[in-house]
Amino acid sequence: MSTSIGAPAPEFTLKNQDQKEVKLSDFRGKKRVVLVFYPLDWSPTCTQEHACLVNGMKQFEQLEAQILGLSVDSAWSHKAYAEKMNIHYPLLADFQPRGAVGAKYGVYLDDKGITGRAIFIVDRNGNLAWQKIYDIPVVPDIGEVSKALAGVK
């Protein structure tokens, strides 16, 4: 499934690193959402990406945005990774069925069994407002994401 700007963001419910269910619709009418799809916990590029997000949290909070990290890792892996990386935003386990949410957004790489690297911004109405797909070894420019987020109502 492909996603297009202005269309409703595909809904999902996934468990976070604390085994609590998180629904995309939980944020509707409240906050913009930055969906950060990444291949795997513990990999070098993903670790750099999350370090940038952790360091930029004030920016995202000032922009009234909620970051949600998504990968095919289990909630248990996410818990250990979040503790090690000092991550305080939800890391969601797109684990069973593997990559189902990533597939809804068109970023699950079936041949590799992982989610590609991509960032989607969902506006307060639940519509896709911005998206960018990255090569797996590329660390996204968090400044670019913040700038895009600032332009989303």
Q: What is the tens place of the pLDDT at every residue in 110-130?
A: 999 999 999 999 999 999 999
Does 20 map to a domain? no
pLDDT at 76 over 90: yes
Total domains in the chain come to 1
Does 113 map to a domain? yes
Residues designated catalytic = 46
Mean pLDDT of 3-21: 95
Please tell me the least confidently modeled range out of 24-28, 52-56, 58-62, 115-119.
52-56
pLDDT at 1 over 50: no
| Domain carrying residue 72 | 27-150
The structure's pTM equals 0.94
Q: Residue 45's domain is classified under what CATH number? A: 3.40.30.10
Q: Which residues of 29-61 are buried (b: 16+ CB within 10 A; e: fewer)?
A: eebbbbbbbbbbbeeebbbebbeebeeeeebbe
Does 8 map to a domain? no
Does 77 map to a domain? yes
